[in-house]
């Protein structure tokens, strides 16, 4: 098996794997599970410094994004889709699927969304039910200041849906004015794939309850979870094994006092080393501490680097997709991946790989890896 250094799924710790494989009860009838679920949701509220309720949904990160749009959008609703990356633009599809009018606010993808410019835009047009924005747009690694953006939107009475699937637990965030916060299990939380966690504000819940038309989905209907505790009923059988594993992963994060410091340190080392080797980072500012994205050098291809890293060094990093396909490479230093041993090994392997494909590195190995 190779070392997993992608931007999700990430490495899963022994403690989480153990929690996953422990025999569990029946989530439909076990009160113990109901209490466990509720408690775990409260841990998310506390972690994001909010009283807003969280729900764990049985489905990958995408389910959270779709649920937010399905539950808020009514036919003809205008939705501002803030786009400076692949996932940013991707929200357009969900909005339109549920009958909304997606208005794209497309800006430079190499820098974070400029709050002042967004404000200028909203001064002219702020007739939106809600807006969508991505915290870390993983394919490019850009990090947007979603706290400031959601605050600004809120001042115009616009609700905000924030995709923080690949940044939360590696980068600090409070829920603040965010109306629906979307998280995932398999990125910096380092739990197995398959779960979405969403935080929902009272304002968003009210908006869903006051709809004129029904939510056009069962599985992606957030309101279906609203009174699960009182009714002792979930809309579908909860993936109990995955949820206990998620709980262990969450405890690991909570008990790790240096979680953000660790991410920041590993991110800085990765960025500095990649630059010292003569490679170019994709974004110009606003780097997420969860992933480093750099351009594929001209002398080689993305596939060649990924293959050599995997076949010769036993380390899996990844390319990207959509308009970045073949253009950039990504090292995911989030969650369990964010430790010195694995990050250093990955960087050393990248160095050897670059030499193998004939990339001209001007600095000496000692200069580049001075910190080791």
Ligand X SMILES: *Cc1c(COP(=O)(O)O)cnc(C)c1O
17 is in an annotated binding site: no
- Contact between 176 and ligand X by CB under 6 A: the answer reads no
Tokens 């899996």 correspond to 316
d(CA 196, CA 61): 5
Number of residues near ligand X (by CB under 6 A) = 13
- Judged on CB neighbours under 10 Å (0-12, 13-18, 19+), 222 is buried
Residue 301: strand pairing partners: none
Q: How far is the CB of 104 from ligand X (least distance, A)?
A: 17
Instruction: Write out the two tokens for 215.
Output: 């939510």
Nearest distance, CB of residue 87 and ligand X, angstroms: 4
Least Cβ distance, residue 166 to ligand X (angstroms): 3
Asked whether position 165 contacts ligand X by CB under 6 A, the answer is yes
CB of 343 to ligand X, least distance (A): 19
Using DSSP bridges, classify how beta strands 53-58 and 195-200 pair: parallel, antiparallel or unpaired: antiparallel
370-to-25, 66, 104, 236, 278 alpha-carbon distances in Å: 52, 46, 45, 54, 15
**Residue 368 is a binding residue for ligand X (CB under 6 A):** no
Nearer to ligand X, 77 or 163 (CB): 163
Do 233 and 243 form a contact (C-beta atoms < 8 A)? Answer: no
199 binds ligand X (CB under 6 A): no
Cβ closer to ligand X: 248 or 318?
318
Does 192 help bind ligand X (rule: CB under 6 A)?
A: no
Residue 160 Cβ, how far from ligand X at the closest point, in Å? 15
Q: Is 109 in the site for ligand X (CB under 6 A)?
A: no
Q: Interface with ligand X by CB under 6 A: which range of 161-169, 220-228, 235-243, 363-371?
A: 161-169
> 265: which DSSP letter?
H
| Residue 242 in the binding site for ligand X (CB under 6 A) | no
Q: Quote the tokens at residue 32.
A: 């113990």
Full DSSP string of 307-359: HHHHHHH-EE-B---GGGTTTEEEEE--GGG-SHHHHHHHHHHHHHHHHHTT-
Backbone angles phi, psi at 293, to 5 degrees: -120, 125
**Which parts of 58-97 interact with ligand X (CB under 6 A)?**
60-62, 87
The H-or-E segment that residue 184 falls in is strand 180-184
Residues 127-156 touching ligand X, rule: CB under 6 A, are 134, 137-138
Strand, coil or helix: what is 294?
strand
Site string for ligand X, 25-64 (x = CB under 6 A): -----------------------------------xxx--
Comparing CB distances to ligand X, the nearer of 79 and 183 is 183
Annotated binding residues for substrate: 330
| Chain contacts with ligand X (rule: CB under 6 A) | 8, 60-62, 87, 134, 137-138, 163, 165-166, 184, 187
Annotated binding residues: 330
């Amino acid at each position: 098996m190779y070392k997993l250094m992608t931007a999700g799924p990430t490495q899963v710790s022994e403690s989480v794997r153990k929690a996953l494989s422990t025999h569990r009860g029946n989530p439909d009838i076990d009160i113990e599970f109901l209490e466990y679920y509720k408690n775990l949701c409260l841990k998310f509220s506390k972690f994001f410094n909010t009283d807003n309720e969280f729900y764990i949904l049985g489905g990958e990160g995408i389910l959270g994004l779709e649920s937010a749009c399905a539950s808020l959008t009514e036919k003809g609703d205008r939705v501002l889709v803030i786009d400076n990356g692949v996932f940013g633009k991707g929200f357009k599809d969900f909005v339109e699927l549920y009958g909304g009018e997606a208005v794209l606010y497309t800006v430079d993808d190499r820098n974070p969304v400029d709050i002042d410019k967004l404000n200028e835009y909203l001064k002219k047009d702020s007739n939106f039910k809600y807006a969508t924005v991505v915290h870390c747009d993983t394919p490019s690694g850009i990090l947007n200041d979603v706290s400031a953006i959601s605050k600004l939107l809120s001042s115009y009475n616009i609700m905000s849906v924030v995709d923080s699937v690949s940044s939360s637990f590696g980068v600090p965030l409070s829920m603040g004015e965010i109306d629906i916060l979307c998280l995932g299990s398999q990125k910096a939380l380092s739990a197995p794939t398959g779960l979405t966690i969403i935080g929902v504000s009272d304002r968003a819940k009210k908006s869903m309850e006051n709809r004129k038309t029904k939510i056009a989905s069962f599985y992606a209907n957030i309101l279906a979870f609203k009174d699960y505790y009182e009714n002792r009923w979930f809309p579908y059988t909860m993936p109990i094994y995955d949820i206990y594993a998620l709980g262990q992963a969450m405890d690991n994060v909570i008990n790790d006092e240096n979680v953000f410091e660790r991410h920041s340190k590993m991110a800085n080392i990765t960025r500095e080393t990649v630059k010292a080797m003569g490679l170019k980072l994709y974004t110009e500012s606003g780097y997420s501490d969860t992933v480093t994205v750099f351009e594929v050098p001209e002398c080689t291809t993305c596939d060649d680097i990924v293959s050599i890293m995997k076949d010769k060094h036993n380390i899996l990093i990844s390319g990207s997709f959509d308009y970045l396909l073949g253009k950039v490479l990504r090292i995911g230093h989030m969650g369990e991946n964010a430790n010195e041993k694995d990050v250093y090994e990955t960087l050393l392997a990248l160095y050897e790989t670059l030499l193998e494909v004939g990339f001209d590195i001007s600095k000496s190995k000692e200069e580049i890896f001075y910190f080791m």
